[in-house]
């Protein structure tokens, strides 16, 4: 499970991140989101996307959010070797493209916590803090501790995905 919190940020937060975390990499992530022919993912709070990021291509299914404080979801992710064929496969199965989300992401880490400093086209800059764990409460403590170190009030975390924020901004 991916336990995650997100905050709107300005560029100065990146300096704080550099003080407490180790730089891992920088990349551009292009996410193409789909809706299901069987049920409306907007209504069920699910997501299906294909991501390409210069390192590979992944198809990711995200289940509904499971708590009220974070963006925690069950997640299934598989690697594929051909972006265009993955898109074609989903289209032939009746999935329809919803939206493309593009971001420049700088990834940092502190032990098992990942911090992403994201510049999202059409939205601005954000910080995502995440832990992959089956222990929800322990992982939530970790992500909120890091959020506080970076000067964020945990109660101001954003539960909407970038896709949802882009849809709301129109």
Q: What is the enclosing helix (H) or strand (E) of 74?
A: none
Confirm if 166 and 158 have CB atoms less than 8 A apart: no
- Report the helix count and the strand count for the chain, using DSSP H and E: 5, 8
Angle at 99 between CA 12 and CA 48, to 5 degrees: 95
pLDDT at res. 1:
87
pLDDT at res. 68:
86
Average pLDDT in the 36-54 region? 96
Pick the CATH number of 2-168 from 1.10.8.50, 3.40.50.300, 2.40.320.10, 3.30.565.60: 2.40.320.10
Report pTM. 0.93
Average pLDDT in the 65-78 region? 91
Share of the chain above pLDDT 70, in %: 100
pLDDT at res. 35:
97
Residue 129 has pLDDT above 80, yes or no: yes
Average pLDDT in the 114-126 region? 97
pLDDT at res. 152:
97
The catalytic residues are: 33
3: pLDDT confidence band, cut at 50, 70 and 90? Answer: very high
DSSP single-letter state for residue 122 = T
What span, in angstroms and rounded, lies between the C-alpha atoms of 139 and 146? 11
Q: What is the enclosing helix (H) or strand (E) of 91?
A: helix 83-92
Q: Around Cβ 6, how many Cβ atoms within 10 Å?
A: 24
pLDDT at res. 149:
96
Q: Around Cβ 156, how many Cβ atoms within 10 Å?
A: 10
């Amino acid at each position: 499970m991916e336990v995650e919190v997100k905050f709107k940020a300005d560029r100065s937060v990146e300096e704080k991140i550099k003080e407490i975390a180790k730089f891992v990499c920088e990349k551009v992530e292009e996410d193409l989101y789909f809706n299901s022919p069987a049920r409306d993912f907007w209504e069920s709070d699910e997501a299906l996307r294909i991501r390409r990021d210069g390192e590979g291509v992944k198809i990711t299914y995200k289940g509904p959010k499971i708590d009220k404080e974070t963006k925690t979801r069950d997640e299934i992710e598989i690697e594929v070797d051909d972006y265009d064929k993955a898109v074609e496969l989903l289209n032939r199965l009746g999935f329809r493209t919803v939206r493309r989300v593009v971001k420049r992401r700088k990834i940092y880490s502190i032990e098992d916590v990942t911090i992403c400093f994201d510049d999202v086209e059409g939205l601005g800059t954000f910080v995502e803090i995440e832990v992959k764990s089956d222990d929800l409460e322990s992982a939530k403590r970790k992500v909120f501790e890091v959020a506080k170190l970076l000067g964020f009030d945990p109660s101001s975390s954003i539960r909407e995905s970038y896709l949802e924020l882009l849809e709301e901004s129109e």
